[in-house]
Amino acid sequence: MLRQPLRLAITEATRILGEAGVPSPHVDAELIAAHVLDVPRGKLVLTPLVDRQVVEAIARLVRERAKRVPLQHLVGWAALGPVTVSVGPGVFVPRPETELLLEWGLSVLADRAAPVVVDLCTGSGALALAVSVAHPDAVVHAVEMDSTALAWARKNLGDSGVHLHAGDVTGSSLLADLDGQADLVLCNPPYVPVGTEVPPEVSEHDPAEAVFAGPDGLAVIRHVVTLAARLLRPGGAVGIEHDDTQGEAVPALLAARMVLTRVADHDDLAGRPRFATAYRT
């Protein structure tokens, strides 16, 4: 059977994705090819020629991606730090910027033995799983409200030992058994102000309740701050991811709690305000 150059298939895929407005068309084209061939992206050069079926499989996925279906839905997984999680319809796709929150959280845990960690708004369970893999003696709890997201989280957390709770972080009695016990509370909540324009991958494929949170985007974060203040033990820390327009508002919410101190905000790699942190007095 006539084999075809993979390079040509990737060039054509890049062109189609570029015309569809996909932000990094060449990267996505290579990642789709790597997925079809089941090799790491960096090893594509080792497969210069491919069968027609491979070219057709790449073209099928490229057509979906050109309709702005998230790449992670097409390949079925997303990475966060040391872990990959399954993702698809009905669950928020973990984003690279959340790795900064993860790294900060792991630095807090560095010198703590058997720490108690709570991941609020866990979605796919990615943050909770990453903490439990990076810090195996941590006792990790994860909370999620949405039943579809919970199903993904249950699948991803498997037998990791992470305790998954169905719950609403705006409720006043959530995780009451852990009051004053947590060494670390992490949260990547919905934080986009309602009405903000977002790309089709987000508007059509991320659940709205995973993304938007009231007119100022702070509707869930306000409750997360209250809950974290209640859950943290003295010296425990909280980190909350936020919108780049909330670099003052979220630190102000943390600073308004008498029991929280050392409030700071942190930029992402593009220099935009991305997450706020504080410690329990």
**Interaction site with ligand SAM (CB under 6 A):** 92, 94, 98, 121-124, 126-127, 143-146, 149, 168-170, 188-190, 209-210, 220
Least Å distance between CB 202 and ligand SAM?
10
- Residue 220 or residue 237: which is nearer to ligand SAM going by CB? 220
3-state secondary structure of 182: strand
Of residues 25 and 189, the one with the C-beta less far from ligand SAM = 189
Least Å distance between CB 231 and ligand SAM?
14
Query: For residue 47, which phi and psi values (nearest 5 degrees)?
Result: -125, 75
Q: What share of the chain is helix, strand, coil (3-state, %, to 5)?
A: 40, 20, 35
Nearer to ligand SAM, 37 or 145 (CB): 145
- Which single residue brings its beta carbon nearest to ligand SAM? 123
Q: Which is nearer to ligand SAM, 94 or 251 (CB)?
A: 94
Least distance between ligand SAM and beta carbon 55 (Å): 33
Tell me how far apart the alpha carbons of residues 78 and 119 are, in angstroms, rounded to a whole number. Answer: 18
Give CA–CA dist 168/175, Å, rounded. 10
Q: How far is the CB of 3 from ligand SAM (least distance, A)?
A: 40
Contacts of 197-200 spanning 24+ positions with Cβ under 8 A? 199/23, 199/68, 200/68
Q: How far is the CB of 145 from ligand SAM (least distance, A)?
A: 3
Quick one: DSSP state of residue 240? Answer: E
User: Alpha-carbon distance 52 to 57, whole Å?
Assistant: 9
Alpha-carbon gap, residue 59 to 65, rounded angstroms: 10
